[in-house]
């Protein structure tokens, strides 16, 4: 028997439609139901006699079968809500002699229990997708405004006012300041104040990403670009920041090879993924930050001069906390309000003695160190007022130095030391303070003082520290 000789009896068709395990509906060119199989009748809690001959919109909730008649286009894997459940539907036009004669629709489930389980899985996936979408959107938003930049001292106000003036500009900004001075907060505030505020704010710490991964993190990669590359490739930080702002923190730690590629991106306003063949245009404003002396690095050949000038269109110097002692109490009170929310505490105050200690301390770790000190105090606080006993040991030891300082002021006119000895004493004191702030970590202490590891070790040996 040949295929030509094989004819399917007409009576088989209804049995086939009823046995395939999917809900099936067939409508004519007027949108009237011509057939509804048993599975669909059961799901809709209706009968063929009640459904056939009626407009499909009156039989199936949220249907688009009649739209397929108008467009002549199939709709595949479409989400449709029926009786509070999210279902997946396929809709196909039926052509006879080149004209639309009707349409057929299917719903993929074999029985009600299977559909309930399937709907539960879909709902779970939708909730998970919404969670990750919300998380990603939150991660790409600026969190701070200029109202969060606390301080009234002259050098800080000058930096803040300059940042506010240039926030709406499209030019690159270079934020300079010691670690912990609030450079990232400035970047957040500038992005939020700009016309790019509704778009992504993407943060990249150039010092924390291994050199061999930095290019793919910044510019993304194509599928198969290297072993372990994700299917479909991956967008880089610059692509994620399209139409928004990218904040390149610790730009002074970027390897020279990457500096060259970054320069090209800034000049051409396009990126090329790892393993990619075609450039991708981008519209991104760059805000960079560093605690390093980039001018010195340029002279030493460790930072590209052309990249430095490309980034240094607008330079904002953020003063360290020791240069804005009048702001310390104001900042501390602001941070305490934040800690009160985190620890579910209320009305925490600073004693007068603690205020004196905070104003006397040199704060090599700047605002970050101050926040850590206050958080430590709140953790051990058993009342509403912070006293000296709640402070870390190195701040309690400042009492002797304060007394010595006061005595020194009284005797200054008669006990002046040679300049060399004064400088050496100041260096030794700075090293000891840095070690305390870094909890004994010499490498971290050297970074706080912005000197090389070798110089730091030599001075420790010289001063027997």
In this predicted model, which residue has the larger pLDDT, 80 or 1?
Answer: 80
Q: Where in the chain is the domain with CATH 3.40.50.300?
A: 146-319
pLDDT of residue 427: 83
| Mean confidence (pLDDT) of the chain | 86
Q: Do 98 and 83 meet the contact criterion of CB atoms below 8 Å apart?
A: no
Helix (H) or strand (E) holding 281: strand 280-281
Write out the two tokens for 380. Answer: 């051990």
What pLDDT does residue 127 have? 67
CA gap 151, 42 in Å, rounded: 70
pLDDT classification of 211: cutoffs 50, 70, 90: confident
Average pLDDT over residues 305-324: 95
Give yes or no for residue 181 having a pLDDT over 80: yes
Window from 10-24, 34-48, 260-274 with minimum mean pLDDT: 10-24
Q: How far is it, in rounded angstroms, from Cα 293 to Cα 306?
A: 16
| Ranges 77-91, 262-276, 278-292, 323-337: which has the least confidence | 77-91
The mean pLDDT of 354-373, rounded to a whole number, is: 92
Residue 231, both tokens: 């299917």
Distance CA 72, CA 65 (A): 10
Q: b vs e for 218-241, b when ≥16 Cβ sit within 10 Å of the residue's Cβ?
A: bbbbbeebeeebeeebbbbbbbbb
pLDDT at 445 over 90: no
Judged on CB neighbours under 10 Å (0-12, 13-18, 19+), 147 is exposed
Residue % of the chain over a pLDDT of 90: 55
Give domain 323-415's CATH number out of 1.10.8.60, 1.10.1740.10, 3.30.565.10, 1.10.8.50.
1.10.8.60
User: 3: pLDDT confidence band, cut at 50, 70 and 90?
Assistant: very low
CA gap 216, 270 in Å, rounded: 15
Range list for CATH 1.10.10.60 in the chain = 417-465
Concatenating the DSSP letter of every residue in 160-172 gives HHHHHHHTT--S-
Question: In this structure, what token pair is assigned to residue 329?
Answer: 């109490």
Which one is predicted more confidently, 140 or 82?
A: 82
What is the average per-residue pLDDT within 20-45?
Answer: 89
241 or 410, which is more confident? Answer: 241
Report the candidate in 121, 101, 455, 157 with the shortest Cα–Cα distance to residue 318.
157
Q: How far apart are CA 291 and CA 132, in angstroms?
A: 34
**β-pairing verdict for 245-249 and 201-205:** parallel
Least confident of 86-90, 251-255, 299-303, 318-322: 86-90
Mean pLDDT value of segment 347-353: 93
* H or E segment to which residue 44 belongs: helix 38-44
The torsion angles phi and psi of 122, rounded to 5 degrees, stand at: -60, -45
CATH 1.10.8.60 intervals, the chain: 323-415
Does position 402 have pLDDT exceeding 70, yes or no? no
| Contact call for residues 216 and 254 (beta carbons, < 8 A) | no
Backbone angles phi, psi at 298, to 5 degrees: -65, -45
| Position 1 confidence tier, pLDDT thresholds 50, 70, 90 | very low
Domain 10-114 bears CATH identifier 3.90.1150.10? no
Which of 108-122, 170-184, 212-226, 441-455 holds the top average pLDDT? 170-184
**Considering only 88-92, 169-173, 200-204, 408-412, which range has the smallest mean pLDDT?**
408-412
Tell me where in the chain the CATH 3.30.450.20 domain(s) lie. Answer: 10-114
Share of the chain above pLDDT 70, in %: 88
**Whole-angstrom distance between the N-terminal and C-terminal Cα of the chain?**
101
Mean pLDDT confidence for 385-411: 70
Mean pLDDT of 123-151: 72
What is the arithmetic mean of pLDDT over 2-13? Answer: 66
Domain 417-465 coded CATH 3.30.70.1880: no
| Residue 434 confidence (pLDDT) | 84
What architecture does CATH give domain 146-319?
Answer: 3-Layer(aba) Sandwich (3.40)
Quick: pLDDT tens for 369-396.
999 999 999 999 988 899 999 998 888 8
Residue 440 has pLDDT above 90, yes or no: no
CB atoms under 10 Å from CB of 272, counted, come to: 19
Q: Quote the pLDDT of residue 32.
A: 95
User: Containing H/E element for 202?
Assistant: strand 201-205
Cα 240 from Cα 459, distance rounded (Å): 45
């Amino acid at each position: 028997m040949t295929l030509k000789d094989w004819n399917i009896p007409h009576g088989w068709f209804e049995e086939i439609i009823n046995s395939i395990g999917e809900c099936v509906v067939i409508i004519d060119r007027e949108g009237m139901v011509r057939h509804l199989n048993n599975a669909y009748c059961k799901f809709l809690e209706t009968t063929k006699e009640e459904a056939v001959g009626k407009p499909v919109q009156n039989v199936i909730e949220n249907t688009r079968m009649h739209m397929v008649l108008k467009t002549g286009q199939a709709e595949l894997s479409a989400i449709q809500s029926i009786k509070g459940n999210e279902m997946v539907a396929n809709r196909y036009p039926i052509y006879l002699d080149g004209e639309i004669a009707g349409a057929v629709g299917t719903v993929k489930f074999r029985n009600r229990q299977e559909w309930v389980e399937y709907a539960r899985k879909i709902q779970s996936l939708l909730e998970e997708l919404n969670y990750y979408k919300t998380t990603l959107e939150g991660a790409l938003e600026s969190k701070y405004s200029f109202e969060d930049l606390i301080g009234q001292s002259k050098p800080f106000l000058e930096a803040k006012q300059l940042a506010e003036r240039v926030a709406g500009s499209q030019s690159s900004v270079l934020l300079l300041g010691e670690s912990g001075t609030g450079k990232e907060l400035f970047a957040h505030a500038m992005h939020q104040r700009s016309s790019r505020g509704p778009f992504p704010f993407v943060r990249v710490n150039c010092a924390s990403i291994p050199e061999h991964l930095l290019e793919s993190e910044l510019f993304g990669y194509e599928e198969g670009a290297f072993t372990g590359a994700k299917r479909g490739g991956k967008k880089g930080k610059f692509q994620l920041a399209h139409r928004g702002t990218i904040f390149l923190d610790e730009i002074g730690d970027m390897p020279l090879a990457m500096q060259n590629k970054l320069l090209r991106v800034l000049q051409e306003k396009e990126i090329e993924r790892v393993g990619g063949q075609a450039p991708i245009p981008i519209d991104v404003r760059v805000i960079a930050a560093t605690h390093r002396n980039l001018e010195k690095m340029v002279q030493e050949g460790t930072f590209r001069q052309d990249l430095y000038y490309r980034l240094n269109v607008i330079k904002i110097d953020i003063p360290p906390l020791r240069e804005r002692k009048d702001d310390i109490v104001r900042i501390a009170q602001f941070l305490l309000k934040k800690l009160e929310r985190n620890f579910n505490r209320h009305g925490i105050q600073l004693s007068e003695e603690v205020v004196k200690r905070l104003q006397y301390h040199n704060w090599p770790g700047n605002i970050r160190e101050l926040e850590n000190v206050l958080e430590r105090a709140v953790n051990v606080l058993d009342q509403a007022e912070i006293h000296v006993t709640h402070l870390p040991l190195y701040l309690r030891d400042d009492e002797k130095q304060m007394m010595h300082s006061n005595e020194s002021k009284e005797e200054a006119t008669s006990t002046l030391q040679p300049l060399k000895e004064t400088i050496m004493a100041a260096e030794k004191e700075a090293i000891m303070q840095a070690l305390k702030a870094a909890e004994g970590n010499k490498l971290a202490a050297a970074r706080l003082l912005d000197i090389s590891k070798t110089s730091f070790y030599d001075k420790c040996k010289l001063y027997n520290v």
